[in-house]
Amino acid sequence: MVRLNKFLAERLGISRREADEAISHGKVKINGKIAVLGARIDNNDKVCYNNKIVSFENEFLYVAMNKPVGYVCSRRAQGNAPTLYDLLPEKYKKLKTVGRLDKDSSGLILLTNDGDFAFQMTHPKFHKEKIYEVELNKPLQPLHQQMISDYGILLDDGPSKFDVFSWTGDGDGRGPQNVLRSKNFGEGESPAGPVQRYIVKLSEGRNRQIRRTFAALGYRVTKLHRTNFGPYALSGLKEGNFEEFKL
């Protein structure tokens, strides 16, 4: 026997909370009857979601993509902006993104039909660290860098705090190594002159958080590129390309 919400999460690529909401709204039936929260099922039961049978047989898929700038993470294009699903073959078009990157951002995005995996990667309680290469329109003042990293910046939806380091790497997508080297530089300077490129490390996932945090201090993010998400990294994956991986 398996809990109904767990079964739906695994088969539909949603979180268990979303599965519970679907059950609560009467969208799920077991053997023709409206399901109730906490129900358990086995492979002899016929489960339907929105009047469509949900099979017990399921293959979990996991895909990593290097999203280009200009693409949205939704299934439908927004205005003139295409969707990243346009870059995927039919086999992967039903997968859901694990979190999002906005249209003007690029880099690592994960897709899956495994609701539990998506939940564990995105829920704040699991503290999955994400690493970004960030370019600003002007060098970040040392005081502002300290304010963000040590105290946080108050935004409309609460304080925003993350680690910011001067970026001294070569853009190879290996964020942690760049972060370690960057600690050797201070006062917003690098051997080549004023630094406008930085490494940002954070475990939150609020909407446009990095952009809004810098904007609150008078900076504009001109490039935002994610290289790492939890244990996963771009590792040489070219822009617009994708690859399937196993857990």
Domain 2-53 and domain 62-122+236-244 have a common topology: no
Per residue in 190-201, is it b (16+ CB within 10 Å) or e — as a string?
beeeebbbbbbb
For the cut 50, the answer to whether the pLDDT of residue 138 exceeds it is: yes
Average pLDDT over the chain, rounded to an integer: 86
The CATH number, out of the four listed (3.40.50.20, 3.10.290.10, 3.40.50.2300, 3.40.50.300), of the domain defined by the range 2-53: 3.10.290.10
Distances (CA, A) of 162 to 47, 149, 199: 44, 5, 10
pLDDT digits (tens, 9 = 90+) for 87-104: 999 989 989 999 999 999
The CATH number, out of the four listed (3.30.70.580, 3.50.50.60, 1.10.150.120, 3.40.640.10), of the domain defined by the range 62-122+236-244: 3.30.70.580
* Per-residue pLDDT, 187: 36
Instruction: Calculate mean pLDDT across residues 209-234.
Output: 96
* Cα separation, 92 vs 158, whole angstroms: 36
What fold, for 129-229? Answer: Alpha-Beta Plaits (3.30.70)
Distances (CA, A) of 238 to 56, 134, 228: 36, 18, 14
Whole-model pTM? 0.73
* Per-residue pLDDT, 78: 83
Q: Domain ranges for the chain, please list them.
A: 2-53, 62-122+236-244, 129-229
The larger pLDDT score, comparing residue 174 to residue 58, is at: 58
pLDDT digits (tens, 9 = 90+) for 159-186: 999 999 987 654 433 333 333 233 333 3
